[in-house]
Copies of this chain bind each other. A is one copy, B any other.
Amino acid sequence: MAGRSAARGSLSPGKLRPSGFLLVVSGPSGVGKGTLVRGLLKARPGCRFSVSATTRPPRPGERNGREYWFQSREEFVANRRRGWFLEWARVHDHLYGTPIREVEKQTDAGRVIVLDVDVQGGASVRRRRPDAVSVFVAPPSLAELKRRLVGRRTESTDVIRTRLRNARREIPQYVHYDYLVVNDRLPEAIRQLVEIHDVERRRVQRLSR
């Protein structure tokens, strides 16, 4: 077993297979978490994106277990009660959750699984999985975040105002995370996230567990 020989200290440590881990990426709405995570998955195809459960009905072309695990509201609520979600959230009228089993299956197989969650979800994941590597994505400034939210032209002024108010409350939460990535220029921010992934992969604790 790779894990056991590492614990004793292998004479050929380079040949050990590192164990998987959970990489949680969080930050305020509009900061570009989704784009960053897609950039990481493209650069490191060995990473897996966690497939969430949702009560929202499937759209044409979506397949159960690929885009989402589609569940009825009753199923979702029952699963939530069983503690099967690492974190969950209500978005508009639907429920979304991260099945713990999804995460465990991938990390047990030695893979890095990436979660893209809001700040409340990030707090929940860090509480339940203190071994997770956590990255907070912050905007260069609140003014810049506002420019980005307005630039999207998809949200009303009211929604934008709410998101900025939330961001002001959420940004100081970065102190509870392992890493801070300021998303100023996107390619540089992706590079930083990829580096965090690579370096965390190289941590001895992941060889000796």
Binding site for B on A (CB under 8 A): 6-14, 136, 138, 140-142, 168, 171-182, 184, 192, 195-196, 198-200, 202-205, 207-208
Copies of this protein, total: 2
B residues in contact with A13, CB < 8 Å? 138, 171, 174, 180, 182
A181 to B198, CA, bound (A): 12
Q: Judging by beta carbons under 8 Å apart, are A175 and B6 in contact? A: yes
A76 to B175, CA, bound (A): 42
Task: Contacts A7-B175, A11-B168 known; list 11 others, CB within 8 Å.
Answer: A9-B171, A9-B175, A10-B171, A10-B172, A11-B171, A11-B172, A175-B207, A177-B204, A179-B202, A192-B202, A195-B198
A184 to B138, CA, bound (A): 37
